Amino acid sequence: MPVGGVVSFILAYLSVAAVYSLLSISMNIEYGWAGIPNFGKAAFIAAGGAAAAIVAAQLGPPLLLGVKGVVPGGLGFFAKYNALLNAYAAHPAATWGVLVLSCIIGGVIAMILGVLFTFPAVRLREDYLAIALLMAAQLVWIVLRVDKQIMGGTFSMVLPSPDFTPVARLLHVPDTVVKVLFLWGLVAVFLYYSEKLMNSPFGRKLRAVRDDEIAAEALGKNVPVSRLQAMMIGSFLAGVAGAIYVLVHLASVNPDYFLPDITFMILAMVLVGGVGNNWGAIAGAMLLALMDRVGYIIGSRLATEYGMLWGGYLYYIVYGLAIIIAIAFRPQGLVPEKPVKTPAWRVYIEETGETPRFLKPIWARLRSLRARRKGKKEG
């Protein structure tokens, strides 16, 4: 492979890994912290996608460009929409407006859907909840396909992705580099927020509900409300990530991007990386995105050059085995979850004068481990 090929592969990989990281952080809040099997994640990502389509074609033009919007699905839509896309291309700032609006609207829609879909089964066993959420996601997918006024039905609709050219010119790098940096910047924001959010009494409450809901209820935690709160936050982030996914990463939208497959891919990333650990979720996303990319290249070569059509479905075996192996051999994931860090531990250290092992910095932990080994050898 020529150098240019390698570089573009790495950039494409980093871009998709960033999007998957955003999604797996949001899945981790639900599955990792609150123990909710959100098998309907695709629906909440789709909310972001739908918001992007609506903003690009219908809301954005009057608000950002000062022209009339067009409703997808009608006659002559593509001609009018192409004119809009040209108008967006002339106004880089408007493309950023589309992104911001889509993120907000997508997040809010996803949050509302999250409450609606979770509510019926929130008091019941987790299998009921999983089934209800999966069904909801399937229904959302069908509605997006059938209702052509949202994203034009089963045609892929091109979207005005945010324009990175001004920044790229300033830094003398290609657009894609800026795009990748931007996406990873967003990952950092998501990570910072969820670390702050979870290292708090709220995070502790979610873990209590996950570990033993009967005890949590007896000690004053409202279990259904706690679950709904986790779903609202997770869905909001998924909606935002969905808008970013279609606008920045793909620059197009199609209902088939939101098949349940994506839900289970994200779930696999959380499982592999670390259940309940945000850093782990990112690690899992990076690892599986790499395997996914490599599998895709091999698979499409098998399919196109050797006529082996199953090559196009290699990702099933990648994610399927990843899930089974993770649950069977390392259920806590590559990076296990850590105790909830709040100021309470500062009090603990003050009063007892000792620092628990898990709060010591990593180098101190390594040193004590080495010292213990040495002690063992001598003794």
Partner 1 sequence: MALQFWLYSFAWGAALALMASGLALYYSVSKVANFAHGEYVSVGVIAYLILVALLHGFKNITGFNIVEPARFTVDKLPLLLPIFIIGGLVSAATFAAVFWPLMKRGSSPLQLMVVSIGLMFVLRFILYFIASAFDWLTLPTPESSVIATIGGVQVTAGILGSLLLALIATIFVAWFTRGTMIGVSMRAVADNPGLAEASGINVFLVQLVAWFIGGGLAAVGGALMFILTGPPGERPIVELGWMDLLPIFAATVLGGLGSFYGTLVASFILGLAFNEVSAILLNYGLDPSLALAVPFGVTLAVLLFMPEGLAGLNWGRLYRRLKEVFRGAGGWGS
Partner 2 sequence: MPRDILVVEDLHKYFGGIRAVDGVSLRIPERGIVGLIGPNGSGKSTLFNTIAGRYKPDRGRVIFDGVDITGWKPHRIYKLGLVRTFQNPRLWLSLTVFENVLTSGRDQRGESPLRAPLHRLWAGQEMEYARKALDWVRFVQLGRVAASLSSDISGGQMKLTELARALMSRAKMLLLDEPAAGVNPTLAHQIFQNIARLREEYGLTFFIIEHRLEILFDYVDYVYVMHRGRVIAEGKPEEVAENPVVIDVYLGG
Distances 36 to 164, 179, 258, 299, 354 between C-alpha atoms, Å:
37, 32, 20, 33, 36
Using DSSP bridges, classify how beta strands 252-253 and 157-158 pair: parallel, antiparallel or unpaired: antiparallel
Q: Which of 10, 171, 297, 324 binds partner 1 (CB under 8 A)?
A: 324
Considering only CA atoms, which of 248, 267, 242, 256 is closest in space to residue 113?
242
**Between 78 and 193, whose beta carbon lies closer to partner 2?**
193
Residue span binding partner 2 (CB under 8 A) among the ranges 62-70, 134-142, 196-204, 305-313 = 196-204
**Between 62 and 356, whose beta carbon lies closer to partner 2?**
356
Residue 167 binds: one of partner 2, partner 1, none (C-beta under 5 to 8 A by kind): none
Give me the least distance between CB of 132 and partner 2, in Å please.
21
Give me the least distance between CB of 253 and partner 1, in Å please.
19
Residue span binding partner 1 (CB under 8 A) among the ranges 17-25, 195-203, 306-314, 351-359 = 306-314
Distinct helix (H) and strand (E) counts, the chain: 17, 2
Residue span binding partner 2 (CB under 8 A) among the ranges 46-54, 65-73, 189-197, 317-325 = 189-197
Contact status: 353 vs partner 2 (CB under 8 A):
no
- CB of 168 closer than 8 Å to CB of 106: no
Distances 56 to 103, 105, 348, 351 between C-alpha atoms, Å:
12, 12, 53, 57
**Between 115 and 294, whose beta carbon lies closer to partner 2?**
115
Contact status: 309 vs partner 1 (CB under 8 A):
yes
Q: Please, which residues have CB within 8 angstroms of residue 9's CB and are 6 or more apart in sequence?
A: 1, 293
Give me the least distance between CB of 32 and partner 2, in Å please.
11
Size of the site for partner 1 (CB under 8 A): 42
Q: Phi/psi of residue 332, each to 5°? A: -85, -5
In the shown chain, the binding pattern of residues 268 to 297 toward partner 1, with x for contact by CB under 8 A and - for none, equals x--x--------------------------
DSSP state of 68: -
Element (H, E) at 253: strand 252-253
Contact status: 316 vs partner 1 (CB under 8 A):
yes
Q: Which of 66, 120, 320, 356 binds partner 2 (CB under 8 A)?
A: 356
Contact status: 223 vs partner 1 (CB under 8 A):
no
Distances 57 to 41, 145, 183 between C-alpha atoms, Å:
25, 17, 24
**Between 310 and 358, whose beta carbon lies closer to partner 1?**
310
* Binding residues for partner 2 restricted to 219-248, rule: CB under 8 A: 219-223, 229, 232-233
Q: Phi/psi of residue 362, each to 5°? A: -60, -35
- CB of 277 closer than 8 Å to CB of 338: yes
Contact status: 200 vs partner 2 (CB under 8 A):
yes
Give me the least distance between CB of 267 and partner 2, in Å please.
19
